[in-house]
Every structure is written in structure tokens, then in C-alpha cells.
């Protein structure tokens, strides 16, 4: 409970928006304010897999107007945490 | 005796890799050279992500009469089991080395040969285009299904059956689309390590005399740029899951001349929109790991499936579980194999697919069985009782909100939910991880100890209501 309250303070508005996108796109059972900014999105963190990543990439392309690519050398970092994903979207969005 | 490749001339295209074209001659040179360098264990795990390197690895292994092991998933539990059952194995890989310390390993790089040795073999190959023979009975691969008791079950694929299978697929493609006798290039979004990807990209190219793209595109943008690098006619080999994401991406999609889909049913709406977009046919393939591909249909034309070659689908004899079963046999199918789907047989080479059997699960085209997943869940220390559960969905909810995941109920003591999920992740494919996992005091078993789907549905519903109620309280 305390940690989630803390996260609200730590996460920027945009990071909260992305957390929300993740939860609604993937029908996750966690509340978006419980996704820790630095928790790994894959595996033992939030538990996302490649199916989720493709769904998420589609949602991001629709909402923010840019496409993910496999040959992006930053891909491992981009999906490593909410903080990195939000930063990547913020830097590349066209809408 | 069947040949290593079906290409008749040394300059026939066999692959497109990182903007380079590779000919039959290049492939033979690379495979023959690699065959001399490979470790001499009986079995190999071919982890190569670059599809050309995978194909070269397979060719070299064929020349050495080695057998590839193709498990359904590559998590720690599965690899550990393979290690125990097939100790005489090595790992062939190109990029990321999987964490299996005990196997010898061999790294393959692209291009396979460089410098002087390449020039030398080039000269030799130019004067002499002789394609190696591979005995029809050579077991090229053991493709595994997960089984229901935790032990993966091997299905032997011989070079002879692979050759026949590819010939039948090529013939069907030529019946369904007019390529005016030009060879085609295949781009696949599915990995060559699984039966569908192996058949419809690697085998159709090598044994059907066509060409493959070395790429393994994932994002919608990847599919577009890889397609653009291929000459036409182009064939896209994919799944309903990838095709939906690609079609919805909003990208300017390059022309494709045939779209092949398998692993899960393609919705009529998606098939129609693909055909309208590309003015090219959509072909669906039906098959399973045990038998390989069995039949195709053009879904916008006719809902009926037609088997390949001399393959027959017949009613199962002596099935005693009260459920109608169907068996595939004949042609390249080694022995009659019971199918895991509910099938309406029209005649021995035509049928309708009515659905999958209750025990079968399919998430984004990946298949498993509830009995296997339940076995793995209950094998975790601290889990007293546990069961996986397929939530009910319709095609409509599916298209709207993506893939439906499994749920699970667990009764446990001395182990947390996070610990259960962690153990489970090492045992099963990520696609089948329960979402959600409900921790309960007891499972709703009826008086005979069974768990009717209806009672589980009710329990899931009440737990979900409870959860969303408590989540709201927090705000």
C-alpha cells in the first residue's frame, strides 16, 4: 500500500499514462499504479512475454504514431522497465 | 535416394540474407564445409536465429547423419530434461547462447565461410555441382510434444518424409496460386525450430527448390522492411496473431503474392481483409507437431480442408473415451496418428474442423494441453492442489482485446504466489503462464473429485469481482 502511494509520487504523468496503457492493453490484473518504475517488464518482474510485447507495440503505434523495430539496438533497454519504455515513447512519439 | 536440396542448377536462388542473395551452390559449399567442422555427437539443438544459418546447420547435420532435437519450448526445465535423455548432444547457435552449460557448443557466424577457404570451395563447387544424397530413412529431427506426464514425447521426422511433405506442399501452393513457374521467396514470422516454421520456410525452400529469407521478423515494421528486400513472387508465412498486428499497424504494407497462416484458426474477417488488401490468396494450413502439416484450405473460398498428397483422415477405431476421434495416415505420415481436434469427415481427403478437444489449449498459436500444464503446476514443491483453466471467450472479445490467457487456481502452503509463478516460469512456455493465478483454500471438486468447468468459471467470476472490489477500495 505504502509503496504504491510512493510510486504515484515518483511516476511522472506520462509514465502513469504508459502504465495505464500496459494494463488496459494486456488486461493485466495489477493496478497501473502498482507497476514499479524500475521493475523488469519481462519474466519475473511484470511477467510480460513476446505476445504482450507485440500487442503493446501495436497499441503504441496507434496511440503515439511510431513503430517499434527489431533492429533497434536499444530494444533490450526499452522493454527493461516502465521508466525506459516511457522515455522511449516520449522521445519518438509523433502524436 | 532423396537429395539434400531440390534445386537443379548451381545458380538457383536458395536464400536472401542481410541483402545478399545466396545460391544453391553457396548453400552446398557452406553445408559441406560446416559438416567437416561440427562436433560428432549424435544429436544437436539447432538454436540458430538466422534462418539461413539454421538451414546450413541442418544440411551439415544431414550430411553427418546427425539428428536435430526440436523441443516445444526452450525453458530451463525442458532443456534439463533433454540433457538427461540425450546426453550425446551439442548446441549449434548463432547469437545468444542458451544457458545449458553441460552441452558442447558450436557457434556459427554469417557469412559462414570467408577468405581463402571460401574462394577455394567456390572454385571447386563451380566445376562440380553434385548435390549430396541423404538416405530416406535418416532421422533428421525429433520434434517433441510436451506430453501429459512431464516427459517430452519425440516424433521422428525422416529425410524421406520431409522430402515428400515439401513436395506435397509445393504442389498445393502451385494449385492455389499462379506464379507462372517462377520460384518464390518465403518470409516467415514463425521460428524454424517449430514444425510449421520448419516446413513452411526451411523445408519448402530446400526440398521444394524455392528460396527463404534468413530473417525472423517480429514487429510489423520488420515484416515490411524484410518483404521489401525480397524479389517477387513473395510468400508470407505467419499466424493469425502476427497477421492481425501487421494489418492493424497502419503501415504502408508492401505487396505479397501469397499469405499462409497456421497454428490457430484465422477469422473470416481477417482473411477477407488480407485478400482485399493484397489481391492475393490466403491459404490456411492444418497440421500438428506429431504429423506435420496435413491439409490446406482457402478460407474465403471454402471452409472444407483438403489433405495433402495421399494423406487420409479417417474415423478412429476402438476409441473408448466416448469422444469421436480422427486419425491421420498415409503418404509421409510414419504411423496413423490420432488428432487432437474435433473433425467432421466428408471423405478421406476432405473434412471440416469443428474445434479442439477439451484438453487442448492454444494461446497465440502455441499449443499445449491442460493435463501437461496441470502436471507441471502440481509438481512444484508446496503446491497441494492446482488446476489450469481456459476462460470463456468469443471471437469478438478475442479480436477486440487480443489473446486470451489461461487462468489457474492453486491451493498451497509455505510458498508464495510470486514463488509459484517463478517456478512455473522455469517449467512451462511463457504463453501459458496463468493470468491470473488465484490462490484459494480449496478447489471446487465435486463428489467424484472432478472439477467441472462450470464450477471453475463461477469461482473465477466471484474471485475477480472480489479483487476488483478490493482494488477500488484502495483508491
Looking at residue A17, which CATH number applies to its domain? 1.10.1200.10
ipTM score for this prediction: 0.84
Contact of A71 with chain B, judged by CB distance below 8 Å, is answered with yes
- Cβ distance B230 to B185 under 8 Å? yes
The per-residue pLDDT for A47 is 87
SS3 A48: strand
The answer for residues whose C-beta is within 8 angstroms of residue B180's C-beta and 6 or more apart is none
Instruction: Show residues of chain A in contact with B435, CB under 8 Å.
Output: 27-29, 47
- Cβ distance B10 to B114 under 8 Å? no
What nine digits make up the cell of B237? 508465412
Q: Write out the residue range of the structural domain in which residue B365 sits.
A: 360-473
The span from the CA of B195 to the CA of B211, in Å, is 18
Instruction: Using the 3D structure, point to which of B330, B355, B380 is the last residue of a domain.
Output: B355
Residue B325 to chain A, least CA–CA distance (Å) = 31
B337: in domain: yes
SS3 A45: coil
Residues B411 and B328 in one domain: no
The span from the CA of B12 to the CA of B116, in Å, is 24
Q: Residue A3: is its pLDDT beyond 50? A: no
Greatest C-alpha distance within chain B? 79
Contact of B250 with chain A, judged by CB distance below 8 Å, is answered with yes
Greatest C-alpha distance within chain A? 40
Please report how the helices A82-92 and A50-64 are oriented relative to each other, as an axis angle in degrees rounded to 10: 30
Contact of B426 with chain A, judged by CB distance below 8 Å, is answered with no
The answer for residues whose C-beta is within 8 angstroms of residue B318's C-beta and 6 or more apart is none
Q: Cβ contact (<8 Å) for B403 and A51?
A: yes
Residue A50 to chain B, least CA–CA distance (Å) = 8
Residues B319 and B468 in one domain: no
**B391 CB neighbour count, 10 Å cutoff:** 16
Instruction: Using the 3D structure, point to which of B320, B338, B355 is the last residue of a domain.
Output: B355
Residues B314 and B445 in one domain: no
CATH classification of the domain holding B377: 3.30.300.30
pLDDT tens digits, one per residue of A55-72:
999 999 999 999 999 888
Residues B332 and B373 in one domain: no
Instruction: Show residues of chain A in contact with B403, CB under 8 Å.
Output: 51, 55
- Cβ distance B39 to B64 under 8 Å? no
Q: Cβ contact (<8 Å) for B218 and A70?
A: yes
Residues B407 and B317 in one domain: no
Residue B335 to chain A, least CA–CA distance (Å) = 34
The answer for residues whose C-beta is within 8 angstroms of residue B262's C-beta and 6 or more apart is B196, B200, B239, B284, B285, B286, B287, B293, B365
Instruction: Show residues of chain B in contact with A8, CB under 8 Å.
Output: none
Nearest to B198 by CA among B282, B287, B137, B66: B287
Query: How many domains in chain A?
Result: 1
Instruction: Show residues of chain A in contact with B253, CB under 8 Å.
Output: none
Residues B394 and B318 in one domain: no
Query: How many domains in chain B?
Result: 2
Residues B287 and B399 in one domain: no
Q: Cβ contact (<8 Å) for A51 and B218?
A: no
Residues B219 and B165 in one domain: yes
Q: Which residues pair with B213 in a beta bridge?
A: B16
Residues B441 and B294 in one domain: no
- Cβ distance B50 to B94 under 8 Å? yes
| Confidence (pTM) | 0.89
What nine digits make up the cell of B159? 529425410
The span from the CA of B107 to the CA of B84, in Å, is 22
Q: Cβ contact (<8 Å) for B241 and A54?
A: yes
Residues B101 and B203 in one domain: yes
The per-residue pLDDT for B103 is 82
Residues B98 and B126 in one domain: yes
The span from the CA of B145 to the CA of B337, in Å, is 13
Residues B144 and B167 in one domain: yes
The per-residue pLDDT for B463 is 85
CATH classification of the domain holding B85: 3.40.50.12780
Instruction: Using the 3D structure, point to which of B326, B355, B384 is the last residue of a domain.
Output: B355
The per-residue pLDDT for A43 is 80
| Element counts in chain A: helices (H) and strands (E) | 5, 0
Show pLDDT as tens, one digit a residue, over chain B (475 residues): 999 999 999 999 999 998 899 999 999 999 999 999 999 999 999 999 999 999 999 999 999 999 999 998 888 888 888 988 999 999 999 987 777 667 888 999 877 764 445 555 555 555 568 999 999 999 999 999 987 777 889 999 999 999 999 999 999 999 999 998 899 999 999 999 999 999 999 999 999 999 999 999 999 999 999 999 999 999 999 999 999 999 999 999 999 999 999 998 899 999 999 999 999 999 999 999 999 999 999 999 999 999 999 999 999 865 555 566 899 999 999 999 999 888 999 999 999 998 888 788 889 888 888 988 999 999 999 999 999 998 876 444 445 556 789 999 999 999 999 999 999 998 999 999 998 899 999 998 888 888 888 888 888 888 877 766 554 444 4
Q: Write out the residue range of the structural domain in which residue A44 sits.
A: 2-92
Amino acid at each position: 500500500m505504502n509503496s504504491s502511494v510512493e510510486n504515484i509520487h515518483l511516476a511522472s504523468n506520462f509514465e502513469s499514462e504508459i502504465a495505464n496503457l500496459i494494463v488496459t492493453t494486456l488486461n493485466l490484473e495489477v493496478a497501473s499504479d502498482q507497476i514499479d518504475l524500475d521493475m523488469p517488464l519481462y519474466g519475473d518482474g511484470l511477467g510480460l512475454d513476446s505476445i504482450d510485447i507485440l500487442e503493446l507495440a501495436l497499441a503504441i503505434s496507434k496511440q503515439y504514431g511510431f513503430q517499434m523495430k527489431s533492429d533497434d539496438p536499444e530494444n533490450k533497454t526499452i522493454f527493461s522497465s516502465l521508466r525506459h519504455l516511457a522515455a522511449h515513447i516520449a522521445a519518438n512519439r509523433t502524436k | 535416394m532423396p537429395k539434400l536440396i531440390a534445386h537443379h542448377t548451381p545458380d538457383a536462388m536458395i536464400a536472401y540474407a542481410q541483402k545478399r542473395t545466396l545460391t544453391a551452390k553457396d548453400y552446398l559449399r557452406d553445408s559441406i564445409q560446416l559438416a567437416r567442422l561440427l562436433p560428432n555427437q549424435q544429436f544437436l539443438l539447432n538454436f540458430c536465429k538466422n534462418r539461413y544459418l539454421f538451414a546450413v546447420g541442418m544440411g551439415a547435420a544431414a550430411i553427418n547423419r546427425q539428428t536435430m532435437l526440436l523441443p516445444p519450448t526452450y525453458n530451463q526445465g525442458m532443456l534439463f530434461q533433454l540433457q538427461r535423455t540425450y546426453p550425446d548432444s551439442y548446441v549449434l547457435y548463432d547469437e545468444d547462447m542458451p544457458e545449458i552449460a553441460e552441452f558442447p557448443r558450436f557457434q556459427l557466424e554469417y557469412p559462414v565461410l570467408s577468405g581463402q577457404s571460401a574462394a577455394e570451395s567456390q572454385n571447386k563447387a563451380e566445376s562440380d555441382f553434385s548435390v549430396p544424397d541423404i538416405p530416406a530413412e535418416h532421422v533428421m529431427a525429433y520434434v517433441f510434444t510436451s506430453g501429459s506426464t512431464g516427459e517430452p514425447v519425440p516424433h521422428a521426422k525422416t529425410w524421406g518424409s520431409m522430402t515428400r511433405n515439401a513436395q506435397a506442399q509445393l504442389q498445393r501452393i502451385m494449385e492455389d496460386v499462379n506464379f507462372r513457374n517462377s520460384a518464390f521467396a518465403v518470409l516467415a514470422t514463425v521460428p524454424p525450430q517449430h514444425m510449421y516454421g520448419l516446413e513452411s520456410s526451411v523445408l519448402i525452400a530446400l526440398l521444394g527448390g524455392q528460396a527463404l529469407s534468413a530473417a525472423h521478423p517480429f514487429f510489423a515494421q520488420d515484416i515490411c522492411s524484410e518483404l521489401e528486400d525480397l524479389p517477387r513472387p513473395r510468400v508470407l508465412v505467419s499466424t493469425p496473431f502476427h497477421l492481425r498486428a501487421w494489418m492493424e499497424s497502419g503501415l504502408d504494407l508492401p505487396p505479397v503474392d501469397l499469405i499462409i497462416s497456421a497454428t490457430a484458426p484465422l477469422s473470416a474477417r481477417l482473411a477477407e481483409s488480407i485478400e482485399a488488401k493484397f489481391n492475393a490468396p490466403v491459404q490456411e494450413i492444418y497440421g500438428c507437431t506429431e504429423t506435420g502439416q496435413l491439409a490446406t484450405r482457402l478460407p474465403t473460398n471454402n471452409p472444407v480442408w483438403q489433405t495433402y498428397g495421399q494423406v487420409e483422415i479417417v474415423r478412429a477405431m476402438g476409441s473408448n473415451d466416448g469422444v469421436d476421434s480422427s486419425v491421420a495416415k498415409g503418404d509421409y505420415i510414419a504411423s496413423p496418428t490420432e488428432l487432437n481436434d474435433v473433425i467432421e469427415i466428408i471423405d478421406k481427403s476432405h473434412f471440416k474442423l469443428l474445434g479442439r478437444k477439451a484438453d487442448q489449449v492454444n494461446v497465440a498459436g502455441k499449443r499445449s494441453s491442460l493435463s501437461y500444464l496441470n502436471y507441471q503446476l502440481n509438481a512444484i514443491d508446496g503446491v497441494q492442489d492446482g488446476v489450469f483453466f481456459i476462460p470463456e471467450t468469443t471471437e469478438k472479445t478475442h479480436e477486440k482485446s487480443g489473446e486470451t490467457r489461461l487462468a489457474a487456481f492453486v491451493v498451497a502452503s509455505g510458498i508464495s504466489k510470486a514463488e509459484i509463478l517463478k517456478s512455473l516460469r522455469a517449467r512451462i512456455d511463457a504463453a501459458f503462464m496463468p493470468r491470473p493465478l488465484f490462490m484459494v483454500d480449496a478447489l471446487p471438486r465435486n463428489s467424484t473429485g472432478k472439477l467441472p468447468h462450470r464450477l471453475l468459471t463461477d469461482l473465477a467470476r466471484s474471485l475477480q469481482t472480489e479483487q476488483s472490489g478490493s482494488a477500488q477500495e484502495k483508491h
